[in-house]
Amino acid sequence: MAIIRKKGLRDMNEKTLNERLKDLRFELLRMNAQKSAQMKNVKIRETRKTIARILTLLNQKLKKAEKVQLNARKQENKKQDKEKI
């Protein structure tokens, strides 16, 4: 499975990222079981880095969504406070 860089990952939606993450974790598990050649060590390292990139992007998207919801709630509360006055 090809390694995807940050730019390619940012264009993916959450569902695609989760599927890619699942595939990469399975591939990493398989590679660790077959670990023998030096070339595989490079591929294992690249796979781990890609998994970390995906997890980072998913976490960033989650935090951004939470921040949007929090701001919406704050705006709603301000509106309600103004109506009370």
- The closest of 37, 64, 65, 46 to 1, measured between CA atoms, is 46
Q: Over the chain, what is the mean pLDDT?
A: 84
Fold of 6-84: Helix Hairpins (1.10.287)
- Classify burial at 28, counting beta carbons within 10 Å of its beta carbon; exposed 0-12, middle 13-18, buried 19 or more: middle
Q: What does the domain layout of the chain look like in residue ranges?
A: 6-84
Q: What's the pLDDT tens digit per position in 47-71?
A: 999 999 999 999 999 999 888 888 8
How confident is the prediction along the chain (85 residues), in pLDDT tens digits per residue? 566 777 778 878 889 989 999 999 999 888 888 876 666 788 888 999 999 999 999 999 999 988 888 888 888 888 787 777 6
